[in-house]
Amino acid sequence: MSSRSAVLAAGEATAVPASSRLLRQALWVDFALSGASALMLVALPGLFARLTLLPEPLLLHAGQFLIAWSAVLFWILRRPLPNPLAVWGVIAVNLVWVLECALLLEGDQIAPNLLGEGYLLLNILSVSACAAAEFFGLRRVRAGS
């Protein structure tokens, strides 16, 4: 048996290509942040609303969305090399999330306190960073293939 055959027999089909490391790490960070936010917002929307002066229904619905979003991210991550079209979808959803947070921060629909503004700004920065890392990770995968 050749060394190539031995590697295939050992499961090369499920091996993670080195070029996809950044992409997978960015998706895992996105999954972890989304999941943690989902749990916090669904479990304690009232407390978080009182602390931030963000509307409780907004926080609860955002948390419910993030539960589903975390499931989508986990589904994408189950493959050694995530589907590029799915990753473009993740990037697009993340950019919409950033835009929505910016509109809430700058608009006059809500009146969060400093902690609420900080939470929205943290969302803008962290989700933008995930989207950027996912974009550059996808570029690296394309360059490596």
Structural domain for 63, as ranges: 20-144
pLDDT given for residue 14 in this prediction? 55
Query: What residue has token string 């978080």?
Result: 48
Q: Is residue 1 part of a domain?
A: no
Q: Is residue 107 part of a domain?
A: yes
pLDDT given for residue 145 in this prediction? 59
Q: Is residue 3 part of a domain?
A: no
Q: Is residue 2 part of a domain?
A: no
Total domains, the chain: 1
Average pLDDT over residues 7-18: 52
Average pLDDT over residues 136-140: 94
Q: Is residue 126 part of a domain?
A: yes
pLDDT at 10 over 70: no
pLDDT at 1 over 60: no
Q: Is residue 138 part of a domain?
A: yes
Burial of 90 (0-12, 13-18, 19+ CB in 10 A): buried
pTM, two decimal places: 0.85
C-alpha span between 104 and 54 (Å, rounded): 10
Q: DSSP secondary-structure letter at 145? A: -
Report pLDDT digits (tens) over 26-83.
999 999 999 999 999 999 999 999 999 999 999 999 999 999 999 999 999 998 889 9
**Of 58, 56, 33, which is closest to residue 45 (Cα–Cα)?**
56
Q: Is residue 140 part of a domain?
A: yes
Q: Is residue 59 part of a domain?
A: yes
Angle, CA of 47, 98 and 79, to the nearest 5°: 95
Dihedral angle sign, alpha carbons of residues 122, 125, 127, 133? negative
